[in-house]
Amino acid sequence: FLRQVADFGNACGTIGCLHALSNSLHILNMVEGAALVNFVHAQSGATPEERGEALLTADALKAPSDAAAVDAAAQTVCPARDGRPLDHHFVAFVQTPGGRLVELDGTKRCPIDHGPTSPENFLSDAASVVLRQFVAAEPDLHGFAVMALARTEGDGAG
């Protein structure tokens, strides 16, 4: 878990992706030496705030994020990192190695534990939390999108 520090600006999409991937290393087959693996190992003893600050200078992670955000293939106009606050936000839900459903939101003080889950129930458990905590809280707001990182059967991962 890392905090989204103010100097990083409008980067919740990057933070959400980093949370999802870095907290799934136990099921991903990432190559040792990959930028994300190196960052996770280097920051393993740091506080969430220190990790957020370290991300500011982690060019191997920040530069591709910045490049992707302004690429012509991007579907939306890239907001300025130091621009006005946005009306949308990205968070990640992960299953811990201990079988807990955890919400990771870099703007919050800490991860939020939503209880037990399993590989078989993770998607429905996460969807239930989204419905209960977000959709039900503002039923007239229709700005939700959900994306799942999944593998296909037989791909040998995990």
The CB-based long-range contact list for 103-110 (8 Å cut-off, 24+ gap) reads 103/129, 104/1, 104/16, 104/19, 104/20, 104/23, 106/1, 106/2, 106/3, 106/4, 106/12, 106/15, 106/16, 106/19, 106/52, 107/3, 107/4, 107/12, 109/3, 110/1, 110/48
- Options 12, 41, 78, 110, the catalytic residue: 12
Which residue's entry shows tokens 């419905």? Answer: 131
Q: Which of 155, 83, 150, 91 is nearest to 123 (CA)?
A: 150
Whether 78 is a known active-site residue: answer no
- Options 19, 26, 41, 89, the catalytic residue: 89
Whether 19 is a known active-site residue: answer no
Positions marked catalytic = 12, 89
